[in-house]
Amino acid sequence: MQAMKTTSLRTPVASTQAFSTLRAYVPDRVWDGVSANAVEDAALLIDGPRIVCVSHTSAVHPEIERIHLPGCTIIPGLIDSHVHYYAHSGPSYLAAGVTYVRDVGNDLDWILQQRDALSVIGSLGPRLVCCGFALDGSNGLWNHIARRHHDAESLRASIREGAARGVDAIKLYAGITPELMRVGVAEAHAQGKLALAHLNETVAEEAIDGGLNEIEHFSRCDVAWRSATPAEDDVLIDRFLKRGAIMNPTLNVWDRLGRALEHSFLRDSRREWVHPELLAIWKTIPYRRCEPAKRLRFQALMPHLKRFLLRCHERGVDLIAGTDTPFINLIPGFGLHDELAQYVDAGIPAVDALRYATSSNARVLGLGERVGRLAPNLDADFVAVRGNPLACIDDLAEVRCVVRKGIQHDITDLLDAARAGHGQPLTDPIIRDLRAYAAADMPKYAQKGDAG
């Protein structure tokens, strides 16, 4: 967890600049992504795509355009560090205040094209960093977002290809054995890339000892999935701390699998952001038609996962926030609000949960000098929400204004853009895999969890 700091209020240097290029966003309070508290009577001053400073409202020159946001709190743009992007989801992410995502498994050609398209100022979606294919073992689950490997040399070749083409990190997947895990991590590091993994064949202890940087979903953190004492939790947590390993919990994906038949999700008003084809896939997902014991298993496990998450937070494990969107009932962008609410429900203070989705995510994703905080010269990525999410995490859902690299996006216009895409068929790699997944019996990794 990052050390707490205090937002520094500055007197803007606007008198020496052309006022026509400056804007001052004036809410009730501003939170910088790091500090323990939001600052009142403050304005966020931006110049085109960049932040100038957080200033006392009274110090903003009267000729500078002001955007008043009464009753609101401005926070940095949210970052979702575990998604499988599909093209029609872009407006939904922005409407939820998510201005950056990390794709952790997708067709390499396709996701690099999406990364380029979303880098353009004014694009109706979050900017993204990516891993390319999820790199699996020889008997992999996914056909379009993952690539299978039979031996060490083929795995090395895939990592080198991804690195040469500019992926931002390397994702290893469930079928990677301990031997291949060591090979994959070593090659990722040799290429200067962070290595993350959804574990199954390799236990967390072995992966961490082999240098794995980040674990997704609490996968093969076996103590997290059962009753345990703090001392038992600490055996694994000590390993995380010794090695500087990162945990990306994605609690909500397990919650959603366990509650796949829960009727309330069908009445979630945020489903209007979701493409009808994806809604149809969710309706036929295997966990909606399996025997109850498989769903109840995940329902029973949630208290254990929350206990372990809180212990990780208390001990200072490097935590970040991701969702595994678009798995069942994980609405792009808005699912991150639900994920942070799970953290708070586990006992983590709201300000820390928000750090995990802003400054901590930015640091781990290699974006710390661009986004994740409200500081001079960083990109103008931020969101205004009605209320104060540092006091009540539920207020995060009350998005009133989203700015992505200096461009302000109207929520109504984003919804219109989302609806316009609902008439077009979905051909994205993750949707093709989810469509096949929904049509099949319970997949082979169901015993250890089958999130992405």
CB-CB neighbours of 4 under 10 Å: 12
Q: What is the pLDDT of residue 141?
A: 87
- Tell me whether residue 3 is exposed, middle or buried, using C-beta atoms within 10 angstroms of its C-beta: 0 to 12, 13 to 18, 19 or more: exposed
Q: Which residues pair with 409 in a beta bridge?
A: 402
Q: What is the pLDDT of residue 5?
A: 38
Helix axes 429-439, 276-283, angle to 10 degrees: 30
Q: Which residues pair with 215 in a beta bridge?
A: 197, 247
What does the angle CA 44 – CA 392 – CA 27 come to, to the nearest 5 degrees?
20
What structural domains and CATH numbers belong to the chain? 77-369+411-439 (3.20.20.140)
Q: What is the pLDDT of residue 447?
A: 42
Q: What is the pLDDT of residue 20?
A: 76
Q: What are phi and psi of 46, to 5 degrees?
A: -125, 155
Helix (H, G, I), strand (E, B) or coil at 374: coil
Return averaged pLDDT per consecutive 10 residues of the chain, 452 residues in all: 43 52 97 98 97 96 96 98 98 98 98 98 96 96 96 98 98 98 98 98 98 98 98 98 98 97 95 98 94 95 98 98 97 98 98 98 98 98 98 98 97 97 96 94 51 68
Give the tokens for residue 78.
Answer: 């949210």
The contacts of residue 262 (CB under 8 Å, 6+ apart) are: none
Q: Tokens 């090695």 belong to which residue?
A: 243
